[in-house]
C-alpha cells in the first residue's frame, strides 16, 4: 500500500513493478480529492484484510519540498505538513496498527529553521495523540 504518490515522482518501470506486485497506490491527487480520512480508511481495510497487525511506514519525503527540504526525494506538490500530521494521528488511532516508523529524513540537509525535523517531531506527537485516543 502506498499513499501520496505524486504524478511524475516515479518512473514508469517502478509503477509497473508496483502494479505487478499487487500494491495498491492512493495517489497524491486522490488524497487531495477524497481526503486523508478516506485514504486511511481504505488503507486500513486493504492492509487489515488478512487479519493481522499493521505496520505503518510514514515516509516524510511524500511531503511537499517546501515543508520537507531535508528529504532528497521530496518534490513540489507533495503532501502538506497538515496532511502528514493527520495521517500519523489517524493511523495511530487505529487498533489494527501495532507500529509506526517515520523515515526518509536527512537532518544534515535540513533548512536553517529545521522545518523537516520539526515536522517529523510533530508527526511523532500526532501519533502519540492518536494512540491516546484509542
**Structural domains in the chain (count):** 1
Domain range enclosing 98: 2-132
Question: Contact at 8 Å (CB) between 120 and 84?
Answer: no
Averaged pLDDT, 42-49: 97
pLDDT at residue 27 above 90? yes
Q: What is the CATH number of the domain that holds 47?
A: 3.40.800.10
Q: What is the pLDDT of residue 63?
A: 97
**Hey, what's the cell of 127?**
501519533
Instruction: Compute the mean pLDDT over every residue in the chain, rounded to the nearest whole number.
Output: 96
Question: Contact at 8 Å (CB) between 67 and 45?
Answer: no
Percent of the chain clearing pLDDT 90 (strictly above): 90
| Cα pseudo-dihedral 23, 46, 75, 59, rounded to 10 | -100
Confidence of residue 109 (pLDDT cuts 50, 70, 90): very high
Residue with cell 520537507: 68
Sequence-ordered strand ranges (E) for 1-134: 2-5, 25-27, 54-59, 97-103
Amino acid at each position: 500500500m502506498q499513499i501520496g504518490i505524486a504524478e511524475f515522482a516515479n518512473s514508469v518501470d517502478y509503477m509497473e513493478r508496483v502494479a505487478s506486485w499487487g500494491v495498491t497506490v492512493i495517489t497524491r491527487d486522490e488524497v487531495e480529492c477524497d481526503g486523508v480520512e478516506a485514504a486511511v480508511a481504505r488503507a486500513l481495510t486493504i492492509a487489515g484484510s488478512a487479519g493481522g497487525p499493521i505496520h505503518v511506514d510514514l515516509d516524510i519525503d511524500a511531503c511537499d519540498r517546501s515543508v520537507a527540504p531535508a528529504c532528497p526525494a521530496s518534490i513540489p506538490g507533495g503532501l502538506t505538513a497538515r496532511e502528514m500530521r493527520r495521517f500519523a494521528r489517524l493511523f495511530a488511532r487505529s487498533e489494527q496498527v501495532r507500529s509506526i516508523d517515520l523515515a526518509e529524513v536527512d537532518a544534515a540537509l535540513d533548512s536553517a529553521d529545521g522545518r523537516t525535523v520539526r515536522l517529523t517531531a510533530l508527526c511523532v506527537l500526532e501519533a502519540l495523540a492518536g494512540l491516546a485516543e484509542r
